[in-house]
């Protein structure tokens, strides 16, 4: 059966979309719904032990789990520390790069290099730096004499997150910087020049013209960085492994350990589902209220 020219024009775009759609269904949607289904079961991977439906028991267990409560606090704390720091430092880097005349491509590559660096490599480097005999203690104790003895950074929950936070900030600046730089280059120069003629200095022009025009970009990066903050996993897994005494667990690392260390797949899936729900709600609220003109 020969299709008409109009039908061919309508069909061809969907044929190009079909491979990506199939990939998305198989590797994204199916695991998502499978994980949600698992969260309602005492899921067993052993063929001799069938999985049993337990309803909301895994979710009730999560809300009464003190270690998961600690993981939630650590995740929120990590997000509150790293997200504002990344946004501020990335904005400063973007403004500086936007104003320089030579070497812009070189500095852009230098700032973006941490983004494409392997989490495994930089996590082990950070772990080496903050070990008791590591580079940080060497400079603190032996070089600058700022501490009487080496600090056990990774053996205490309060100090272990110093290394994790620093790594998260350092690795995420370049991504936001590139987006901010693109937004800065899209601002009409006529507006800035008009403000300068009216007597506005650079700071006044930045806060009165640049930032308001970049608001959609800032909201976008805020949402994406929030999602990234709640999905922190690799740095915690490679630097501390959730220790000591499970005090540096984050939501994803605790979900991973429950599923693959203790084979509590149903409980791990419930924890992952809770993370997904929190992220969807938080992202919606940010997009709904921060981008609505009545809240400007």
What would the pLDDT profile of 237-271 be if each residue is shown by its tens digit? Answer: 999 999 888 899 999 999 999 999 998 999 999 99
Please give the structure tokens belonging to residue 233. Answer: 């996993």
Among the residue ranges 78-92, 181-195, 212-226, 237-251, the one predicted with the least confidence is 181-195
Is the model more confident about 192 or about 24? 24
What would the pLDDT profile of 271-295 be if each residue is shown by its tens digit? Answer: 999 999 999 998 888 888 776 554 4
**φ and ψ of 252, to 5 deg:** -70, -40
Contacts of 5 (CB under 8 A, 6+ apart): none
Contact 225, 70 (CB under 8 A): no
Token match 């005494």: residue?
A: 245
Look at domain 67-295 and name its CATH class: mainly alpha
Is the model more confident about 5 or about 192? 192
Give the CB-side neighbour count of residue 146, counting CA atoms within 13 A.
8
Q: Determine the pLDDT at residue 44.
A: 83
Q: Determine the pLDDT at residue 3.
A: 63
User: What residue spans define the domains of the chain?
Assistant: 67-295
Q: Determine the pLDDT at residue 217.
A: 92
Please give the structure tokens belonging to residue 257. Answer: 């350990």
* Neighbour-count burial of 9, counting CB atoms closer than 10 A to its CB (0-12 exposed, 13-18 middle, 19+ buried): exposed
Tell me the pLDDT band of 22, cut-offs 50, 70 and 90.
very high
Contact 135, 129 (CB under 8 A): yes
Three-state secondary structure call for residue 52:
strand
Q: Determine the pLDDT at residue 295.
A: 42
Torsion of CA 240, 241, 242, 248, to 10 degrees: 20
Contacts of 40 (CB under 8 A, 6+ apart): 53, 54, 55, 56, 58, 266
CB atoms within 10 A of CB 101: 5
What would the pLDDT profile of 198-243 be if each residue is shown by its tens digit? Answer: 777 888 888 888 888 898 899 999 999 999 999 999 999 999 999 8
Res 2 pLDDT > 80: no
pTM for this predicted structure: 0.88
Contact 87, 218 (CB under 8 A): yes
């Amino acid at each position: 059966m020969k299709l008409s020219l109009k039908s061919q024009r309508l069909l061809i775009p969907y044929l190009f979309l079909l491979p990506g759609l199939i990939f998305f269904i198989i590797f994204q949607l199916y695991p998502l719904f499978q994980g949600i289904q698992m969260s309602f079961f005492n899921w067993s991977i052993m063929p001799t032990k069938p999985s049993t439906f337990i309803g909301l028991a895994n979710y009730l267990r999560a809300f009464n789990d003190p270690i998961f409560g600690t993981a939630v606090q650590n995740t929120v704390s990590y997000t509150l520390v790293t997200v504002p720091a990344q946004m501020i430092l990335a904005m400063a880097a973007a403004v500086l790069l936007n104003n320089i005349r030579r070497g812009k491509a070189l500095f852009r590559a230098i700032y973006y290099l941490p983004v494409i660096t392997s989490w495994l490599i930089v996590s082990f480097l950070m772990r080496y730096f903050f070990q008791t005999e590591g580079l940080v203690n060497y400079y603190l104790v032996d070089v600058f004499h700022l501490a009487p003895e080496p600090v056990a950074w990774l053996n205490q929950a309060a100090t272990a997150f110093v290394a994790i936070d620093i790594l998260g900030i350092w690795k995420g600046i370049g991504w936001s910087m590139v987006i901010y730089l693109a937004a800065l280059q899209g601002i009409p120069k006529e507006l800035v020049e008009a403000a300068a003629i009216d007597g506005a200095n650079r700071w006044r022009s930045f806060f009165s013209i640049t930032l308001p025009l970049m608001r959609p970009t800032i909201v976008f990066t805020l949402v994406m960085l929030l999602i990234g903050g709640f999905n922190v996993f690799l740095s915690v897994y490679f630097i501390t492994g959730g220790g000591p005494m499970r005090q540096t667990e984050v939501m994803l690392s605790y979900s991973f350990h429950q599923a693959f260390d203790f084979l509590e797949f149903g409980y791990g899936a419930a924890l992952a589902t809770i993370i997904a729900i929190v992220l969807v709600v938080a992202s919606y609220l940010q997009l709904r209220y921060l981008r609505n003109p009545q809240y400007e």
